[in-house]
């Protein structure tokens, strides 16, 4: 497969255009976020328009346009506090369904308030509040979701001692009846509490799920600056999974979302023997890390400027350092990872992805083991809204295979 030279992107002229929603918080809300919020889809899962609209009106009226600031984050807190008082009242009255609904709404608000990355104590305050609300919201699930701390057995001295994960398994799971399991790898801004629907999809199929955050984000203990840190992370996770006994270690499939797609590609090569398959959705693996791409990615479909969050995630002190150093250090092509044999690997994306170029998925076809793919013409990052229609049938086939 012949690829166009870097810089001649499939995005065409849209590569050089700045999307309208970057003009202001008003433009973001009215042109990009209000409609998804009204129907409860990404990134507003579990939320309600009636909660978000007054917050965004406040942001608009006060000309608060930068989501990296504490002023943006704290604008959500009064609404969260009011809903929390209602949720606690419903809990005391033992109205568990209503309380759960309110806690989900609170978690959704805190999720948007901590966008796009935790870069201050206030952002971390919102993150801790989101997790607390989410665990209360899920407390009465029949197939329970739990937070567990995995010993990071293979850590270096620079890395944390534990890997916080969310675990959800069918209530019937046991050492005598271990379940096929999804290793769900999160992204740049979507973390463990942001996967309610996916966890339902998994347990409804009789599968368990272990949700893990990627280096440089949320609670991950992995060294953001070290390209090999995810390999140690997975070593520790798999060791713990084997010891727990409730996971069928012959039927483990990983699924990486957005920035997590990179890690889904990497783990498919570095831990091929531990996986039945891997889904890399919206993956950037080489061209994504190039200076030419990164300097324009701020202008595309991400809600806010992307490069400051990416710089922090990969352990750089500024976007400029990211632009100059990321490709040589993190590219899976430059480091030779993609030349290794891999497990079954499904590549999913929209051909008009402005965050992680579709060229990276095409590049993977030219290296290592044969790949499987579904690319959606003219759709944006991750191939939403139709990509799940291809992912779940593929997962079912992989899980059912011998």
Kindly list the catalytic residues: 258, 353, 381
Structure tokens at 65: 């346009």
Peptide bond into 195 cis (omega under 30): no
Neighbours of 286 (CB within 10 A): 23
DSSP 293: H
Place of tokens 């700045």: 18
Which sign, positive or negative, has the C-alpha torsion 282, 386, 300, 52?
A: negative
Contacts of 335 (CB under 8 A, 6+ apart): 227
d(CA 213, CA 367): 27
CB 251 within 8 A of CB 329: no
Neighbours of 267 (CB within 10 A): 29
CB 94 within 8 A of CB 290: no
Structure tokens at 76: 């959500």
């Amino acid at each position: 497969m012949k690829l166009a030279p870097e810089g001649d992107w499939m995005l065409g002229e849209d590569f050089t255009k700045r999307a309208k929603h970057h003009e202001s918080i008003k433009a973001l809300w009215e042109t990009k976020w209000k409609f998804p919020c009204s129907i409860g889809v990404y990134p507003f899962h579990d939320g309600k328009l009636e909660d978000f609209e007054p917050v965004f009106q406040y942001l608009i009226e006060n000309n608060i346009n930068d989501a990296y600031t504490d002023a943006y984050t704290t604008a959500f807190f009064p609404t969260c506090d009011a809903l929390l008082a209602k949720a606690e009242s419903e809990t005391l009255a033992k109205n568990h369904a209503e309380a759960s609904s309110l806690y989900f709404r609170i978690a959704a608000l805190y999720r948007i308030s901590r966008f796009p990355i935790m870069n201050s104590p206030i952002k971390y305050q919102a993150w801790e509040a989101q997790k607390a609300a989410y665990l209360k919201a899920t407390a009465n699930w029949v197939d329970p979701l739990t937070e567990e701390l995995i010993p990071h057995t293979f850590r270096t001295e620079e890395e944390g001692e534990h890997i916080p994960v969310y675990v959800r398994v069918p209530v019937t799971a046991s050492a005598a009846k271990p379940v096929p399991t999804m290793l769900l790898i999160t992204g740049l801004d979507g973390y463990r509490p942001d996967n309610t629907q996916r966890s339902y999809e998994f347990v409804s199929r009789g599968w368990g799920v272990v949700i893990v955050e990627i280096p440089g984000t949320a609670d991950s203990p992995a060294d953001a600056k070290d390209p090999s840190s995810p390999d140690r992370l997975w070593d520790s996770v798999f060791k713990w999974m084997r010891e727990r006994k409730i996971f069928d270690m012959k039927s483990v499939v990983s699924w990486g979302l957005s920035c997590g797609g990179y890690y889904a590609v990497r783990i498919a090569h570095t831990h091929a023997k531990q996986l039945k398959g891997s889904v890399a959705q919206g993956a950037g693996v080489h061209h994504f890390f190039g200076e030419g791409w990164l300097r324009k990615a701020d202008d595309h479909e991400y809600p806010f400027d992307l490069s400051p969050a990416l710089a922090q995630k990969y352990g750089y002190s500024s976007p400029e350092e990211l632009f100059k150093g990321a490709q040589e250090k993190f590219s899976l092509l430059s480091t030779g990872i993609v030349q290794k044999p891999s497990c079954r690997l499904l590549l999913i994306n929209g051909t008009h992805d402005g965050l992680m170029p579709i060229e990276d998925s095409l590049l993977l076809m030219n290296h290592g083991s044969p790949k499987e793919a579904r690319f959606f013409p003219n759709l944006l990052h991750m191939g939403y809204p139709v990509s799940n229609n291809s992912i779940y049938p593929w997962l079912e086939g992989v899980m059912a295979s011998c």
